[in-house]
Amino acid sequence: MRAYMNYSLYAVVDEDLLAGRDPASLAADLAVNGASVVQYRAKRLGSREFLRRARAVRAALTASGVPFIVNDQLDVAFLSGADGVHVGQDDVSVVDARALMGPAAVIGVSVSTVGEAERAEAEGADYLGAGAVFQTGTKTDAPLMGLDGLRAIRAGVKLPVVGIGGLNRQNAAAAIAAGADGLAFISELMSAQDPGAAARELRAIIDAAKRR
């Protein structure tokens, strides 16, 4: 899995923004409409319910072959059969995540500085979630790094870099031009009336920017 990852459109299914929709059905819809990775995030669910829903998302994504990543919670990632886990600076270390998940697991790390990026790379991360690239209402405590910060991280490491934070149809191409291997979208997908159509449009923008 790790050698063949395509991070172009990294879709985040956020439990807090579902508005009554089923996360498994939404994940499957995004996967068939251009998402190349799907992460499931549930900051306020208890572990038991998080695991139940994560297993449903895992099952829904199996046919598509799109990698499934669980946000933050290592136990849920492991027990749900996820392809990997994404951790923040205050979560478990890459080394500990790897010890539990195994050598084939995809381990992503949130970073906002070159130093954090270099440390994650040295510890054996598979990719970086770099942000916030732009102002975001989804994670208000994330430091704003801008396109210059994204360029600096891209220049400082060899790992795939996924831009995150405030990304939309208007600024996606600029983030790719700044060196991002892929872009993570939360609100732009979760707030869309038709998330599948939004995923198709965003993937087309990303693919066109990469060709340029």
71-88: pLDDT as tens digits: 999 999 999 999 999 999
First to last CA, the chain: 27
Mean pLDDT of the 112-121 span? 98
Return phi, psi of residue 39, to 5°. -110, 140
- Tell me what the pLDDT averaged over the chain comes to: 95
pLDDT value of residue 96: 96
The pLDDT tens digits for 125-139 are 999 999 999 998 776
The pLDDT score that the predictor gives to residue 143 is 84
Q: Which helix (H) or strand (E) holds 10?
A: strand 9-14
Query: Which positions are annotated as active-site residues?
Result: 41, 110, 139
CATH architecture classification, 2-211: Alpha-Beta Barrel (3.20)
35/1: higher pLDDT: 35
Is the torsion defined by CA of 39, 45, 196, 12 positive or negative? Answer: negative
**Residues 44-67, mean pLDDT to the nearest whole number:** 96
Using DSSP, state whether 73 is helix, strand or coil.
Answer: coil
CA-based nearest residue to 35, from 166, 186, 176: 186
Question: Long-range contacts of range 92-96, CB-CB < 8 Å, 24 or more positions apart?
Answer: 93/123, 94/120, 94/123, 94/124, 94/125, 95/123, 95/124
Count of CB atoms within 10 A of residue 184's CB? 25
d(CA 95, CA 92): 8
3 pLDDT more than 70: no
Average pLDDT over residues 99-114: 97
The radius of gyration of the chain's CA atoms, rounded to the nearest angstrom, is: 16
> What pLDDT does residue 38 have?
98
Closest CA to 82 of 49, 114, 110, 104: 104
Residue 5 reports pLDDT greater than 60:
yes
142, 112 Cβ separation under 8 angstroms: yes
